[in-house]
Structure 1
Amino acid sequence: MLTNSIILVTGGTGSFGNTFIPMTLKKYNPKKIIIYSRDEMKQWEMAKKFQNEDRIRFFIGDVRDRERLHRALDGVDYVVHAAATKIVPTAEYNPFECIKTNINGAMNIIDACIDKGVKRCVALSTDKASQPVNLYGATKLCSDKVFIAGNSYTGGRTRFAVVRYGNVMGSRGSVIPFFLDTAKTGKLTITDKRMTRFMISLEQGVELVWHAFEDMEGGEIYVKKIPSMNICDIATAVDEKAEQIEIGIRPGEKLHEQMIGVEDAHFTYEYSEHFKIIPQICEWGQAEKMIKGGKQVADGFSYTSDNNTEWMTILQLRKWIEENKDKVGNI
């Protein structure tokens, strides 16, 4: 589907974009990939990595700027919406700015995609959007809702879907690079030793987006099946000799993360490698086309990091860190 197409990635200089772009160039050979973001320095650094790649274009712009999006989306076939204000404390201290980017920006993307005749758009979500307890999660829940509802405006010409996954291992601002840095002091701070988190690699996230593009009818939320880990095990995998100091849970932080709540069980279907939440209101399409052989989950089902059936071991994470040490914190 993506072969010989034009793809635009919002927030394309971030962790996701730095993995999606080389993987997609190699697998699909698109005609062009446009990186749309507002940080000129990150674009400058990224351009050096692709200086001999004539299929890459860079476009300075903000998802808050609807006119700029209209210009950037000329001739674009597919969009991946990865731009977001996503650091939890930053969102809490700058709520107006978070809302402008994560909600207003999402609406701008939807309007521009429809106006410019984009075929399909996949938006990246987060486990924090399921029963959110912080502003970042709340804005991403709103974003998910507007992307799903966006399908009702298009008459099937443009399709929108969402992918949702948990903690991306080794990405900038995540716990693994933080532990690697602070382990030098011989001490690792743990907010709560009971805490669990979902674990996913960026490569798995990219593959989920590819699957969404191929499979989507419009309005689905795709949830990757991924393992969980206890926070103390993550710390041990980084440095088993460091002292672990419990400091208490932070404002806006969950003890366990959730990607599917019990309220969504009636609309959730299971597949070999993922779950799919179909929209509760689907006036633009047929649910049967979305289900595609999936098995409806049991009533009362939820998918949380503490009730997971799959767990990553300390040795597995330690091996992953060793194999990706040059990328951790830089993606």
Structure 2
Amino acid sequence: MFNGKTILITGGTGSFGHKCTEMILKNYSPKRLIIYSRDEYKQYEMSRRFSDKEFPCMRYFIGDVRDKERLCRAFRGVDFVIHAAAMKQVPASEYNPFEAIKTNVLGAQNIINTAIDAGVKKVIALSTDKAVSPVNLYGATKLCSDKLFVAGNLYAGSGDTKFSVVRYGNVVGSRGSVIPLFLKQRETGTLTITDPRMTRFWTTLEDAVQFVLDGFERMVGGEIFVQKIPSMKITDLAKAMGPECEQKVIGIRPGEKLHEMMISIDDARNTSEFDGYYVIKPDTGFMTKQADMIGGEPVAEDFVYTSDSNVDWVDEEGLIEMVSTLKIDK
């Protein structure tokens, strides 16, 4: 569905944007692929890998999702938008709360309004497990963003623009993940563990990107796609990366959860299960038609999807195998 179409990725110079660009160029023939971000140096570095000479469809736009006027210019003629731009570092968001709200919440509002005005066909926004029962500002802003994108289908009215959300867990080796930290600490012989009971959802960057791209085929508008992915214990990850290293417990950090959640019990009544993923249907009475179109097998009323209650786990051997083939994104 991307052949001959124009695709725009906000925050396109990040880990997700790089992998998404690579996979789109490999598997499709888009008319244009626009990288929209605010860091000129990262765009320069990315353009060396994906040059417009080798890939004539590539375009690089300097811009911020806070700037609606620039978004209006960038969205002209765009068919599909992947909204990956966000302030996602928990400590930075806690220390700069107004900035996090401007980017993650007001930026989402700008994306929605501009997409409707420009006649964009489909928009998928990236979410996170931290948006479910949030305990930090980053999670709270992403929860608000998710709600905005679901409601964006109502704002579109009789227009053709559809909005959906894709939610997944921690991405192996992405910027800011624990793996680069462990690699650095391994040289000292000691790996720091916040809490030995801690569990996390675990997915690869390639799987996350493919899940988003598949979402454009599946979406009817208003749903939140939740990827089925395995869990891992943080102690198993540390042992896989530094089997000879000491593990030092330093205590859980502010705004951090012991276990992550992607579907709460309150969302269970609106959740359907599919092969490889779940869908949280819109629960507003104005979107019953979209909810009925989604289908799927309803989950149990007491269903929750948390990293500690997951039925799928990556064991230490699996972690060793995954980490050994990993290209760390610095």
Shared topology, TM-score over 0.5? yes
- TM-score, reference length from structure 2: 0.97
The match for 2:26 is 26
Aligned mates of 2:291, 2:88 — CA distance in 1: 34
Give the letter aligned to residue 76 of structure 1.
V
SS at match of 1:139: helix
Residue 164 of structure 2: which of 148, 161, 164 is its match? Answer: 161
Q: Which runs of 4+ in 1 moved over 3 A?
A: 287-290
Aligned mates of 2:300, 2:288 — CA distance in 1: 24
Give the letter aligned to residue 251 of structure 1.
P
Aligned mates of 1:43, 1:117 — CA distance in 2: 26
Per-residue Cα deviation, 1:268-322 (whole angstroms, up to 9, x for no partner)? 0001100000011151451454323x10000110000000000001111211111
Root mean square deviation of aligned Cα? 1.0
Shift of 1:38: 0.1
The match for 1:253 is 256
Q: Is the 8 A contact 1:217 1:289 kept in 2?
A: no
Aligned mates of 1:34, 1:313 — CA distance in 2: 39
Aligned mates of 2:204, 2:191 — CA distance in 1: 23
The match for 2:151 is 149
Shift of 1:28: 1.9
Aligned mates of 1:20, 1:329 — CA distance in 2: 14
Residue 193 of structure 1: which of 180, 196, 200 is its match? Answer: 196
Aligned mates of 1:133, 1:239 — CA distance in 2: 30
The match for 1:133 is 135
Aligned mates of 2:118, 2:96 — CA distance in 1: 32
The match for 2:94 is 92
Per-residue Cα deviation, 1:15-53 (whole angstroms, up to 9, x for no partner)? 100100110111121111100000001000000001222
Query: What is the total number of aligned residue pairs between the two structures?
Result: 327
Aligned mates of 2:200, 2:177 — CA distance in 1: 11
SS at match of 1:62: coil
Q: Is the 8 A contact 1:122 1:213 kept in 2?
A: yes
Aligned mates of 1:221, 1:244 — CA distance in 2: 37
The match for 1:72 is 74
- 1:1-331 alignment to 2 at 5 Å? 1-51=1-51, 52-154=54-156, 155-284=158-287, 286-287=289-290, 289-292=292-295, 294-324=296-326, 327-330=327-330
SS at match of 2:286: coil
Aligned mates of 1:183, 1:149 — CA distance in 2: 46
Q: Is the 8 A contact 2:220 2:290 kept in 1?
A: no
Give the letter aligned to residue 16 of structure 1.
F
Give the letter aligned to residue 102 of structure 2.
K
